[in-house]
Amino acid sequence: MLKKSLLLTVALGLTACQSQEANDSTNVAKTQATSASNQAPVGPNLEDAKQFLAEVESTLVKEGEYAARIAWVQANFITEDTVWLGAKSIEKTGALQVKFANQAQKFDDLDLPADMRRRLNIIKGGMTLAAPNDADKNARLAQIMANLEATYGAGKYCEGDDCQSLGQLSKTIAESRDADELLKAWDGWRTVSPVMRDSYQEMVSLANEGARELGFDDTGAMWRAGYDMPANDFPVELDRLWGQVKPLYDALQCHVRTKLTDHYGEEVMGNDGMIPAHLLGNMWAQDWTAVYDLVKPEDAGSTIDVTALLNEHGYDAEKMVKTAEGFFTSLGLDPLPETFWQRSLFLKPQDRDVVCHASAWDIDNEEDIRIKMCIKEDYEDFVTIHHELGHNYYQRAYKDQSILYRNGANDGFHEAIGDTIALSITPQYLKEIGLIDAVPESSNDLGMLMKKALEKIAFVPFGLMIDQWRWKVFNGEISPQEYNAGWWALRNQYQGVKAPNERTEDHFDPGAKYHIPGNTPYTRYFLAHILQFQFHRELCAAAGYEGDLHRCSIYGNETAGDKLNQVLEMGASKPWQDAMEVVANSREMDATAVVDYFAPLKSWLDEQNKGRACGW
């Protein structure tokens, strides 16, 4: 996950400091005042806009590092004091960002060069939550935001003195095949979130007030305005992309449900076509790879056990990160700075609470890039490290752009870059880095594709519905009295996944997913799961690869690396359609690359599902 250094959430209100010489005469001053009073008010002009942008950019550079360091400390040392510091930092930046955004509006009617207009639009719409232009309300919003993230980070499920962390509960969800044990772990983690509910409701109200003050209908509308297209057109685009992938997802869901029913029985599964959320091997049922052994093709053969290979070859956390760095340098990109190795967090400390959710940080918007993870020596984290370094390399590549452009072409791009690299973690890549001696025959590809689909395709509707829920919460379609019901209605609709037991409004299941209390927009992850395959297909073509798309790795190909780096260096300086044209030779997002990648698996799934009652 990208953790911004509060680029646009760090803003300092402008003050016009016009000095007056000490020897100015009183008469001159009076003459100037009389002259000014006889003139009609003059609106802002091009020079005013230039000065405003220069002030904004210098302020963001100056204040961004301070706010990022506060956020880093809070995430790595969760105490009452650091939560207080984090709240104060959010409070300050929230007030300042709104001040900037309001000031930017005075240039709305000017005819400005495209670059200046783009930067002004980013100032107005580049924040996640807009604080109300009221000091007390801003302070309250900041406190809520800090407390929600801290509550999640410190969350544990306790039975008496026996407490389990999210990591421990997730391990049970991934490894157990006992339905009762799974339900206990699933329920246990959701005991951390009900306390968030009232605060979340208040936060929504305050954030909507701030968004309306900036001219948006609500916070969701403000989020959708940041995609270089009309805000109302954006959901239509998402539906189009989902429609391209849905047949593949439906086929996968049908097969997985059938196999889980074979294992757990209809008394656990039910007969409504949906899958109980606690049985899919992931705390949020967003990644189903942990149930591979139950749903794999019978003739798939053995897949490569990367976790075992990492252990066999003595990989620790640092070696895993060094290996991922080696992928990027093989493309012709520079090694990570020494400070990365000195300042990143790779392992969960034993003496304190930290937010273990993997994230990439850009502390000074220059060279101080870091990751924060509680790394486990397994395949999942090996892939995640490649993803997080994708953020870091993106951050460094655009460091020479305006501070307002030091971001992805859209937020889906930032998430997609690392995932694109991760798609090149193929048997060929594993051979190149010495984890295996020979590339297996293609007869094993069906199993590999199934594993990848359980990770990638299973995620797609989940990635879409998170913000569908939030947008409906922000615009009032889902009332505070329907938070949990609305959450499960969307999960039923998009995923064909259901709650394993009765859920009421005494629960707040959305809060058990980090990105809800952490206020991280989620559509970026849906887009990333589309874009990564499109990027992968085009980079493989640039590398001269011919063959099945799922077997391609661009490791070691500097031609593909050069094409990739061109996009990274652009940052957000141009509409995402321009960046798409550079990397994918198209100005449209296209999910047909997903279909191409999984074509052999889709054919197999269709064959397996013949005669089954699919759908829900």
Q: Which SS3 state, helix, strand or coil, does residue 163 take?
A: strand
CA atoms within 13 A on the CB side of 582: 19
Count the residues in the chain: 616
Catalytic residue chosen out of the listed positions 278, 391, 529, 550: 391
Catalytic residue from among 63, 65, 91, 415:
415
3-state secondary structure of 201: helix
The sign of the CA dihedral 225, 230, 236, 239 is: negative
- Cα dihedral: 368, 395, 166, 511 (round 10): 120
Residue 57's identity, in one-letter code, is E
Rounded Cα–Cα distance for residues 385 and 345 (Å) = 12
Contact (CB, 8 A) for 168 and 128 = no
The two tokens of residue 557 are: 């190909």
What value, to the nearest 5°, has the Cα angle with vertex 231 and ends 242 and 237? 20
CA distances from 153 to 60, 210, 518 (A): 28, 26, 10
Question: What's the CA gap between 292 and 211, in Å, rounded?
Answer: 44
Q: What DSSP character marks residue 230?
A: -
Q: In the structure encoding, which two tokens stand for residue 109, read together?
A: 């009617």
**358 is a catalytic site residue:** yes
Among candidate residues 325, 388, 455, 538, the one labeled active-site is: 388
Q: What is the dihedral of CA 55, 57, 62, 64, to 10 degrees?
A: 130
- Token pair 């449900």 is found at 257
Contact present, 558 and 430 (Cβ < 8 Å): no
Please name the residues in contact with 314: beta carbons below 8 A apart, sequence gap of 6 or more.
Answer: none
Residue 354's SS3 state is coil
If DSSP codes are grouped into helix, strand and coil, which group holds residue 385? helix
Q: Which two tokens stand for residue 307?
A: 């976790």
Active site residue: 386, 414, 507, 515, which one? 515
For the question of residue 525 being annotated catalytic, the response is yes
47 C-beta neighbours (distance < 10 Å), count: 8
For the question of residue 357 being annotated catalytic, the response is: yes
CA-based end-to-end distance of the chain: 32
- Which residues, including other chains, have CB under 8 Å from residue 244's CB and lie 6 or more apart? 590, 591, 592, 594, 595
Cβ atoms < 10 Å from Cβ of 603? 12
10 in Cβ contact with 97 (< 8 Å):
yes
Active-site residue among 227, 249, 525, 555? 525
Closest CA to 309 of 376, 377, 374: 377
Active site residue 366: no
Query: For the stretch 322-338, what's the b/e string if a residue is b when 16 or more beta carbons lie within 10 angstroms of its beta carbon?
Result: ebbbebbebbebeebbe
Spatial distance between the Cα atoms of 428 and 552, rounded to a whole number of angstroms: 8
- The catalytic residue among 255, 357, 414, 507 is 357
**One of 358, 360, 397, 458 is an active-site residue; which one?**
358
Tokens of 206: 């305050």
Per-residue CA distances from 428 to 304, 411, 437, 536, 542 (Å): 12, 30, 10, 15, 18
Catalytic residue (choose from 278, 386, 387, 507): 387
- Sheet arrangement for strand 2-3: 2-3, 359-362, 369-372
- Annotated catalytic, 387? yes
391 is catalytic: yes
Q: Which amino acid is at 401?
A: Q
At which residue do the structure tokens 């409004």 appear? 505
Residues 6+ apart with CB under 8 A from 101: 11, 123, 124, 125, 127, 130, 214
Under a CB-based contact definition with an 8 Å cutoff, are residues 144 and 199 in contact? Answer: yes
Point out the residues that are catalytic: 357-358, 387-388, 391, 415, 515, 525
